[in-house]
Structure 1
Amino acid sequence: MNQHPASIEAGDDRIRVLIADDHPMLREGVIAVLETQSDMVVVGEAATGDEAIAGWERLRPDITLMDLQMPGNGVVAIETIRRSHPEARIIVLTTFTGDAQALHALRAGAAGYLLKSSLRRDLLDAIRGVHAGRRHLQAEVAERIAIHAIDEPLNAREIIVLQLIANGNSNKHIARELNLSEDTIKSNIKSIFAKLYVNDRTHAVTVAAKRGIIDL
């Protein structure tokens, strides 16, 4: 956890930003952009979810930029911060456009969802908008959420089964792992195929990973 020695005096109304991402180059790039803005100041950096939580408690930033795929899990960090501090304003930084991933983060309490590919274009507007009390959800992600809004979601066991399939396990091994019959696993897989609109295991894994339902 790096705390920035920026002098914040009483009456300083700049937007105080904490950056949580495990890639130093991305943090440096974001800092370089924010340093050009007269109404923003970076107060700290974090490289893990735990550091983000501790940094938020210590610095109480106005805005936190939170990566999802870093050690300690960004979604868990969002949930933890928001549970104790519902006023916290957090913007997700991610490479994932999947609707399931976005919904998970938004339900955890994120106020914004920003793709890293669009940081140069949208970062400043997102920070100012969320700081003003608005939500920021990019059109591409919002469209994916809307497309799947009426789909029947996979239940907890189906997600576990699909993750085990993605990890290369056979039906027999999955049944043994979950202490279920092979027929039950086959039934789960049939349901997964129907819900994801696919016809085979490979396509199911591909679609679920793209949507952020499972990790590869």
Structure 2
Amino acid sequence: MIRMVVADDQELVRVGFAMILDAQADIEVVAEAGNGFEAVAAAREHRPDVVLLDIRMPGLDGIEAARIIGVETVCRMVMLTTFDQDDHIFDALRAGASGFLLKDVRRDDLVHAIRVVAAGESLLAPSVTRRLIDQFTSTDSTGLLPMERLAVLTNRERTTLQMLAEGKSNPEIAAAMVVSTHTAKTHVSNVLTKLGLRDRVQAVIAAYETGLVVPGQR
């Protein structure tokens, strides 16, 4: 059972999402929250598997709430926004968000997103993915983290990180490295653990910010 907290300051939106999700046989909404403070409190109390957070809420916004929840719990977080051009997408991902969806998301896509993130994967709407890539290619985003941070990785793990930044799946990484999918999955897990990253999205960000991968170069 996937246990969830739904946080949005718009009651109709919040209740609507909660009803859709709670109606699923494998999802239980354990709490609702109308702002970031309530979302953090609910995450602390209920320790859900996934928290659905509106990025723009009064008092404590979704990004700050995500940062706190990310530090204090192992909850996975999916961010909601009204516009796919939201300037805070990058900040939300760096705060630990594993997914990013628009509020006009279809019912089936919403449910699918929660299941994907609960399973440990990352999920971004296509328009959000393009926005993230644009963030890297239009600004000087390299060198924000010391390259020495990657010293804990083996050569194979560093190669794995590069391929993660290229958007390759585990089977694609396995094929490129001529290893089994299980071995590729182990390399990915080692990269995340050694660098203290929550998921593949943060691995991509780390690859760019350390300068391991340079925007526009493959």
Task: Identify the TM-score tier after normalising by the shorter chain.
Answer: 0.5 to 0.7
* Residues paired across the two proteins, number: 140
Larger Rg belongs to: 1
Query: Is the partner of 1:64 in helix, strand or coil?
Result: strand
Q: Which runs of 5+ in 2 are unaligned?
A: 142-218
Please state if 1:149 is matched with 2:119: no
Contact 1:53 1:77 (C-alpha < 8 Å) held by counterparts = yes
TM-score, normalised to structure 1's length?
0.61
Deviation sequence 1:9-34 (CA, Å, 0-9, x none): xxxxx111100110110111112212
Amino acid at match of 2:69: I
Q: What is the distance in 1 between the residues matched to 2:125 and 2:116?
A: 12
Q: Which runs of 5+ in 1 are unaligned?
A: 1-13, 155-216
Indicate which of 30, 33, 41 corresponds to 2:28. 41
The residue correspondences of 1:61-140 to structure 2 (distance < 5 A) are 61-71=48-58, 72-85=60-73, 87-98=74-85, 100-140=87-127
Q: What is the distance in 2 between the residues matched to 1:116 and 1:27?
A: 10
What is the aligned partner in structure 2 of residue 54 from structure 1? 41
Q: What is the distance in 2 between the residues matched to 1:67 and 1:147?
A: 23
Deviation, structure 1 residue 101: 1.5
Deviation sequence 1:65-113 (CA, Å, 0-9, x none): 001111111100000111222x220100111312642111000000110
Deviation sequence 1:142-191 (CA, Å, 0-9, x none): 0122233221269xxxxxxxxxxxxxxxxxxxxxxxxxxxxxxxxxxxxx
Amino acid at match of 1:130: V
Contact 1:98 1:144 (C-alpha < 8 Å) held by counterparts = yes
Deviation, structure 1 residue 119: 4.2
Please state if 1:16 is matched with 2:3: yes
Question: 114-123 or 64-73, which moves further after superposition?
Answer: 114-123
Cα 1:99–1:149, aligned 2, differ >3 Å: closer, same or farther?
A: farther
TM-score, normalised to structure 2's length?
0.61
Q: What is the distance in 1 between the residues matched to 2:45 and 2:92?
A: 23
Q: What is the distance in 2 between the residues matched to 1:99 and 1:48?
A: 19
Q: What is the distance in 2 between the residues matched to 1:46 and 1:103?
A: 23
Query: Is the partner of 2:53 in helix, strand or coil?
Result: strand
Contact 1:15 1:39 (C-alpha < 8 Å) held by counterparts = yes
Q: What is the distance in 1 between the residues matched to 2:13 and 2:86?
A: 24
CA RMSD across the alignment: 1.6
Amino acid at match of 2:72: S
Q: What is the distance in 2 between the residues matched to 1:32 and 1:99?
A: 26
Q: What is the distance in 1 between the residues matched to 2:14 and 2:50?
A: 15
Contact 1:99 1:145 (C-alpha < 8 Å) held by counterparts = no
Amino acid at match of 1:35: D
Q: What is the distance in 1 between the residues matched to 2:83 and 2:76?
A: 20
